[in-house]
Amino acid sequence: MSPEEEPEYQTPPTCDLLGLLLKNRRPTGAVNEVWPNLYVGDAATARDKSLLAGLGVTHVVNAADGPQHIDTGPRFYEDTGILYHGVEAPDSKEFDLSPFFAETADFIHGALRREGKVLVHCARGVSRSATLTLAFLMIKEGLTLVEAVEAVRRHRNILPNVGFLNQLCRLDSSLALQRKPTWHQGAERQRLRR
């Protein structure tokens, strides 16, 4: 099938994503490696410095940062050498997490490029941290939303709230448009083939 004949990628509706997220759920631990050197976990994992040292974690993303949530912060990790990135986000479908997608993806990407290991966590490691992890895989690794969900779900049960899922759908649609060759590029490829 030539690139011109490939079906155009469509972001699935939220109900299909929920079905994918709920299918074949099985118990997962407090922390799981969901991508090479990228872990998703809960608050207890983030507070267990000896566990983090054992995993070799060099960077922490707290998706539930702040005094009203999980108040670790960079000072908590001062004695470990762990670099910290906090996102103060409630697990609420009304909260817009999308403004934090790019900066968090940059933080994770930078850590992995330097051969670091990253823990992304929230309270339970299911919604906020999963959303930021999926956004990273889409923005920096070029995965579609479905591919990102499937990659993470191989290792951990996740379930972003419906508001976060809708934000990921918008990101997916936006990235799909960026990946889609423009008419001009397609015409140029046709000309070069002749």
Nearest to 83 by CA among 74, 91, 93, 96: 74
Contact status, residue 19 vs residue 98, Cβ threshold 8 Å = no
**Cα(42)–Cα(123) distance, integer angstroms:** 5
For residues 154 and 83, the answer to whether their CB atoms sit within 8 Å is: no
Q: Active site includes 122?
A: yes
CA Rg value for the chain: 18
In the chain, the N- to C-terminal Cα span, in Å, equals 18
Q: Which of 46, 57, 120, 122 is catalytic?
A: 122
Distance CA 52, CA 61 (A): 13
Coil, helix or strand at residue 30: coil
Q: What's the one-letter identity of residue 167?
A: Q
Q: Which residues are the active-site residues? A: 122
